[in-house]
Structures are given as structure tokens and as C-alpha cells.
Chains A and B, each alone.
Chain A
């Protein structure tokens, strides 16, 4: 009986950690691969800057337009566990750094991809902000979420001309 209880206790402790490690870890790796692939595809097609002034804008079919995107990514149990340990010793919380990086890159890519779909070739004045979801699942108890809201203006630029398209007019 004691042994069963002991094993159950261990399972409750290790189970979520394993779940976080296996599912969360796999998801993160896949997400990074996905981000790398999408960013590589965009490069050279769309110019992405965070300049406040737009780079050599040219008149296109449509006027410039503001686009927004939002991403909320949850931490997994393992990340939260590691972070709470890190909180004890101090230092860089690497598991949360990757979480925020993923959210930011994803939010940026969503805007860039939408811009491309709408026929724009440049994204300017990208602003990335963290959103506060108010602590229902964040903050307390070590569960963390990265919520990023991104805003940008998309336009036609003389730069970022695809070679097969010829010069822009």
C-alpha cells in the first residue's frame, strides 16, 4: 500500500515533467524548424524593417495599410519547473527566452505573410509588444505565457524587388 502510494506520488511528480519534455520539447523543435523555413522563404521577397520612415516607398496598386497579428504561446510544465529552479539560484531563464523568441518570430511572420498575400513587398515600422492577459493562468503558480501583439505598416518599396519581376516602376 505504501509502495503504491509512493509510486503514485512519483508518477504525479514525474508525469507532467515527462509530458512537458516529450510533447513540449517536440513542439518547440518543430516550431523552430517551421519558423526557420518560413523566414528563409520570405528573405529577398519582402523587406522587413522597424524603421519609422518607410524605405523608398513607391505608389502601388493599393495604399499603405496597417496590419496586426497576435500570438499567445504557453509554456510547458518542464519549462515552468526549470524556471522556478532558476528563480531560486538566479541567472538567465533560458526556457522562457525561447518561448518569447518563438512568439515574437511567429507574430512577425504572420504579418509578413499576410502582406505578401495582399501583394505588398515591404513591411515597415514593426512594433512588437507584450500583452497582459491578466493572470488567470499567468504569473501565479509558475505557469507562464508569452503573449505578443505586433503592428506594422505594409507598403510597396522600390527595394526588395524579386529578380524575376524586373524593376518596379
Chain B
């Protein structure tokens, strides 16, 4: 499965369009990480717990999107976009969406 956030894939031609595919997830970290993040706000620096949270959420949303694409028989997803929103304290909602397509290799 080729996944890109551009409108086309260089070296490939789009044969069929299978439509919009999407995936979302809402994730939180355990309270300990929230407390650690609170301490980080005293001294500054990267909050690894929250970076991880976003990474996990992104992977999850992407996987769900890809599962949908697979179901539709696509072999690539183009123009992928992400959005985040806040649902509740310390949680991140991640939404991934893109266009599922069937591509073939074409030297151009």
C-alpha cells in the first residue's frame, strides 16, 4: 500500500478511484504521564509522554484508514490529511482521511 499526502504519486498512474477512506481514534495517557507533564511545565523541554500519545494516535487512525482502503480493494491512498481535536482533558482525537485509489506503475 502506497500512502502519500500529495495528489498523485510520481511514477504511478491512477487507474481507478475508490473514494474517501477515513479512520479516527481518541487516546489518552495514564494520569502519571499527566503529572509528569505538569512538572515539565516548570523546567521546559519536550514532553515525551504526549509526543508518544500523538504518535500512537496517528498510527491507530492511519491503520483504520488503511484497513478501509484495503476493504475497497485499493492499493494506494493519496492526499492524506490529518486533523486533531480536543474531546476531553489530556486526550487527543486524531482523524485521518484520504482518497483510496488503484494505481499502476507507469514510467513517465
A124 engages B82 (CB within 8 Å) = no
A72 at the interface (CB under 8 A from B): yes
A76 engages B44 (CB within 8 Å) = yes
Contact residues on B (Cβ < 8 Å of other chain), bracket:
35 or more
B-side contacts of A151, CB under 8 Å: 5, 80-82
B-side contacts of A68, CB under 8 Å: 58, 62, 82
B-side contacts of A130, CB under 8 Å: 84
B5 engages A135 (CB within 8 Å) = no
Question: Which residue of A has the minimal Cβ distance to B103?
Answer: A63
A87 at the interface (CB under 8 A from B): no
Chain B residues within CB distance 8 Å of chain A: 2-7, 9-12, 34, 37-38, 40-48, 50-51, 53-55, 58, 62, 80-92, 94, 107
Chain A residues within CB distance 8 Å of chain B: 16, 19-20, 23-24, 27-28, 52-54, 57-59, 63-66, 68, 70-77, 79-80, 106, 124-125, 127, 129-137, 143-145, 147, 149, 151-153, 155
Q: How far is the CB of A122 from chain B (nearest CB, A)?
A: 10
Q: How far is the CB of A158 from chain B (nearest CB, A)?
A: 11
Q: How far is the CB of A90 from chain B (nearest CB, A)?
A: 24
